[in-house]
Chain A
Amino acid sequence: MLGYLWRRLRYLPVSLLLVLFMTFSVLRLTGNPIDIYLDMNRTPEQVEALTQKLHLDRPLVVQFGIYLRDVVKGDFGESLQFGVPALEVVLDRLGNTLQLVGVALGLAVVLGIAGGAVAALRRDRLADVVISFLAVLGQSMPSFWLGILLIQFFALRLGWLPTSGQGGVAHIVLPALTLAAYLIPNFILITRTGVIETFNEQFVLTARAKGIPSVRVLLVHVLPNTLNPILSFLGLQLGKLIGGSIITESIFAWPGIGRLMVSSIFQRDIPVVIAAICIMCIAIVLANLLVDIALSMLDPRIREA
């Protein structure tokens, strides 16, 4: 187990380095960094200060080295809108985003696996047809419109839930559902296929022949075997999920990193944008690692490979 962990961990710095290299190249190579960081009303003193701070008069390789050193120290520069370190601004919102993503993930797992299992057990009956149709429809539904439809129905027409913002439990239902919609259709389809396949296996037949109740067969013998493809899919979709959280937070005015990032672009607060991008990438890399660890714990064959 430890050896496996070590093999996975070795790639971590490489991924992070690549992300930093990408942000650096876009910022420094696509145009004049001074234009990117400062607006039209800049004073020569500001330009001079920025040149000093970013070491724009040094070779690019040196600049990249200094950039790396600053990032490792957690120094992304000062936020232009708030006047405090950019990293602090971003970490302030991290909790809200994690909360949203966490609830969405929980919803997706529960609804996706339950839906898929029901569809598989009622194969080719009405429930299966309805669930499978909804899953396929959900795959071509842009989440931003889904969010808007949910607001219209549950918030404006029925008045059950608030339209936007953050507050009690009621506030998180619609954003989490919208974000979960990125995963639910595929979770349903993967679980459905997995359950149908596993039910044909010898060990399930044995379990049923022994007279074990169907519910227990499903929960103990069948579903654990479908977790592997679901987790693998989740690992591949983590980036999409984080990207989706940016859109979802914007629809519902949820005060997380995504919304902060988008509003910071309009404020031309580049240090905050970069800090947010880096934090999100670190989150994706770490989450991917967690998924891999979970996978290897569930399935010993992966550890050996």
Chain B
Amino acid sequence: MTASKAKIAIGGTVIALIVLAAIFAPLVAPHDPYQQQVILRLKPPVWMTGGTWRFPLGTDSYGRDVLSRLIFGSRLSILVGIASVVLSMLIGTTAGVLAGYVGGKTEEVIMRTVDAQTAFPDVLLAILFVAALGGSFLNLIVVLGISGWMVYARIMFGLTRSLRERPFVEAAVSFGGRSGYIMLRHILPQLVPVLTVVATLQVGQMILQETALSFLGLGVPPPAATWGNILAEGRDRLFLAPWIANSAGIAIVTLVLTVNILGNGLREWLDPKS
């Protein structure tokens, strides 16, 4: 087995497990993530003195089971990660292919917008949106989708411009194919492998962004169980209950790291040269 296949296998398996746990959260989670039991508050995890298997990762300051909250929290992170990647991929690919194929003024406008927005930090854009519209599940997806499209635009622009010179595209043009048809049927299929790799790697970035915004209190508001919210709650209980913040941190790093491993594996597999 080559290194790239090993990376795909490892990354894919871990991600599949996490996604399965997220889908079947009500079956997998040992407790209701929102059930508060004040008597059982701040119970340490099982490996510390005073911990029990009833709450493997301990409880938070309202007596909610941390493991169950993490499992339910993964749903939101994964959904936001995938949905925002789909949105930014749609915007970015459309813009990039148009700029690359049409060229001229269109290219100038699109690519200068890309430059301008790249200089504008994503967090500022998110803060602007949340300040105007408030934090919610849908707003998060829109904000992250809009803040991430430039990556696709840049890459697709470069690829499209080189594809335009290739004989099969020139042949299609000389046969009288209309621009829209050529972009959709001749250019786009060529972009799919690269798109898959970039999108996979971006899912990891988007999940990081989502947890960062939730951590700041700009994501889906509490008491919703999201990884960023759990981390933010844990930050205020660091002295008494460090396990709350740390288990959320480990969950985030695990998911992002495996998504990155899968993405890099896919890249090496699709493009053995790199």
Cβ-neighbour of B128 out of A23, A144, A238 (below 8 A): A23
Contact with B along A133-164 (1 / 0, CB 8 A): 00000001110110011011000100000010
Interface stretch, picked from B15-23, B102-110, B162-170, B235-243, is: B235-243
Cβ-neighbour of A22 out of B128, B208, B234, B235 (below 8 A): B128
Instruction: Name B251's closest neighbour in chain A (CB-CB).
Output: A145
Instruction: Name A244's closest neighbour in chain B (CB-CB).
Output: B123
> How many residues of chain B have a CB within 8 Å of chain A?
39
B111 at the interface (CB under 8 A from A): no
A152 cross-chain contacts in B, Cβ below 8 A: 238, 242, 246
A145 cross-chain contacts in B, Cβ below 8 A: 231, 245, 248-249, 252-253
Distance (Å) between the CB of B44 and the closest chain A CB?
15
B218 at the interface (CB under 8 A from A): yes
A94 at the interface (CB under 8 A from B): no
A27 at the interface (CB under 8 A from B): yes
A242 at the interface (CB under 8 A from B): yes
Distance (Å) between the CB of B146 and the closest chain A CB?
10
Q: Do B132 and A36 touch across chains, with their CB atoms under 8 A apart?
A: yes
Q: Which residues of A226-266 are within 8 A (CB) of B?
A: 236, 238-240, 242-243, 246-247, 250-251, 261-262, 264-266
Distance (Å) between the CB of B149 and the closest chain A CB?
14
Interface stretch, picked from A82-90, A109-117, A190-198, A281-289, is: A281-289
Q: Do A243 and B249 touch across chains, with their CB atoms under 8 A apart?
A: no
Using known A-B contacts A246-B216, A273-B127, determine if residue A148 contacts B235 with beta carbons closer than 8 Å. yes
Q: Which residues of B87-143 are within 8 A (CB) of A?
A: 116, 118-125, 127-133
A281 cross-chain contacts in B, Cβ below 8 A: 119-120, 124
A19 at the interface (CB under 8 A from B): yes
Q: Do A265 and B131 touch across chains, with their CB atoms under 8 A apart?
A: yes
Cβ-neighbour of A243 out of B116, B121, B132 (below 8 A): B121
Contact with A along B65-87 (1 / 0, CB 8 A): 00000000000000000000000
> How many residues of chain A have a CB within 8 Å of chain B?
45
Q: Which residues of A256-305 are within 8 A (CB) of B?
A: 261-262, 264-266, 270, 273, 277, 280-281, 284-285, 288
Using known A-B contacts A246-B216, A270-B131, determine if residue A140 contacts B256 with beta carbons closer than 8 Å. yes
Using known A-B contacts A140-B253, A247-B212, A277-B127, determine if residue A284 contacts B119 with beta carbons closer than 8 Å. yes
Distance (Å) between the CB of A174 and the closest chain B CB?
13
Cβ-neighbour of B127 out of A36, A238, A240, A262 (below 8 A): A262
Q: Do A142 and B252 touch across chains, with their CB atoms under 8 A apart?
A: yes
Using known A-B contacts A27-B132, A149-B249, A261-B127, determine if residue A142 contacts B211 with beta carbons closer than 8 Å. yes
B46 at the interface (CB under 8 A from A): no
A51 at the interface (CB under 8 A from B): no
Distance (Å) between the CB of B266 and the closest chain A CB?
17
The residue among B120, B208, B217 with the most chain A CB atoms within 10 A of its own CB is B120
Using known A-B contacts A247-B215, A261-B127, A273-B127, determine if residue A142 contacts B119 with beta carbons closer than 8 Å. no
Docked complex Cα distance between A148 and B235 (Å): 7
Cβ-neighbour of A156 out of B119, B131, B132, B239 (below 8 A): B239
Docked complex Cα distance between A156 and B242 (Å): 10
B172 at the interface (CB under 8 A from A): no
A236 cross-chain contacts in B, Cβ below 8 A: 118
Distance (Å) between the CB of B227 and the closest chain A CB?
10
- Which A residues contact B (CB, under 8 angstroms)? 14-15, 18-19, 22-23, 26-27, 30-31, 36, 140-142, 144-145, 148-149, 151-152, 156, 163, 236, 238-240, 242-243, 246-247, 250-251, 261-262, 264-266, 270, 273, 277, 280-281, 284-285, 288
Show 25 A/B contacts (Cβ-Cβ < 8 Å), sorted by A.
A15-B119, A18-B116, A22-B120, A30-B133, A36-B132, A142-B249, A142-B256, A145-B231, A145-B253, A148-B231, A148-B246, A152-B242, A156-B242, A163-B238, A238-B119, A239-B118, A239-B121, A242-B123, A246-B127, A247-B212, A247-B216, A270-B132, A273-B128, A277-B128, A284-B119
- Which B residues contact A (CB, under 8 angstroms)? 116, 118-125, 127-133, 204, 208, 211-212, 215-218, 231, 234-235, 238-239, 242, 245-246, 248-249, 252-253, 256-257, 260
The 4 closest A-B pairs by CB, nearest first: A243-B123, A145-B249, A239-B121, A243-B121
